[in-house]
Amino acid sequence: MQVKKNPEIEISRNSSLYFAIGLNIMLFITWRALEYKTYDKANIDIGVLNLEKQIEEEIPITNINTPPPPPPPPAVITEAVQIVEDIEDIEETVIESTESNQEDKIAQPIVSVKDVAVAEVEEEVEVPFAVIEDVPIFPGCEKVSKAEKRACFEQKMQAHVVKNFQYPEVALELGIHGRVSVIFTIDKDGSITNIKTRGPDKLLENEAVRIINALPKMIPGKQRGKPVPVPFSMPINFVMAVN
Mean pLDDT across the stretch 210-239? 92
Give the CATH number of the domain where residue 156 resides: 3.30.1150
pLDDT value of residue 16: 83
Q: What is the pLDDT of residues 48-101, one digit of tens each?
A: 555 555 555 566 666 666 677 788 777 665 666 666 666 566 666 666 666 666
How many structural domains comprise the chain? 1
pLDDT digits (tens, 9 = 90+) for 157-170: 999 999 999 999 99
Q: With CA atoms as reference, report the closest residue to 136 among 211, 67, 218.
A: 218
Band (pLDDT 50/70/90 cuts) for residue 217 is very high
Task: Determine the Cα–Cα distance for residues 144 and 205; give it in Å rounded to an integer.
Answer: 33
Of 236, 18, 228, 41, the closest CA to residue 125 belongs to 228
Domain membership of residue 188 (yes or no) is: yes
Q: Which residues contact 210 (CB under 8 A, 6 or more apart)?
A: 164
Mean pLDDT for the stretch of residues 163-183: 92
Q: Tell me which residue range forms the domain holding 164.
A: 149-238
Between the alpha carbon of residue 213 and those of residues 71, 183, 189, 193, the distances in Å are 103, 12, 15, 9
What are the b/e assignments for 95-119, b being 16+ CB within 10 Å?
A: eeeeeeeeeeeeeeeeeeeeeeeee
The Cβ of residue 208 has, within 10 Å, a number of other Cβ atoms equal to 24
Give the pLDDT confidence score for residue 122 in this predicted structure.
Answer: 62
* C-alpha–C-alpha distance, residues 193 and 236, integer Å: 18
pLDDT in tens, 132-158: 999 999 999 988 888 899 999 999 999
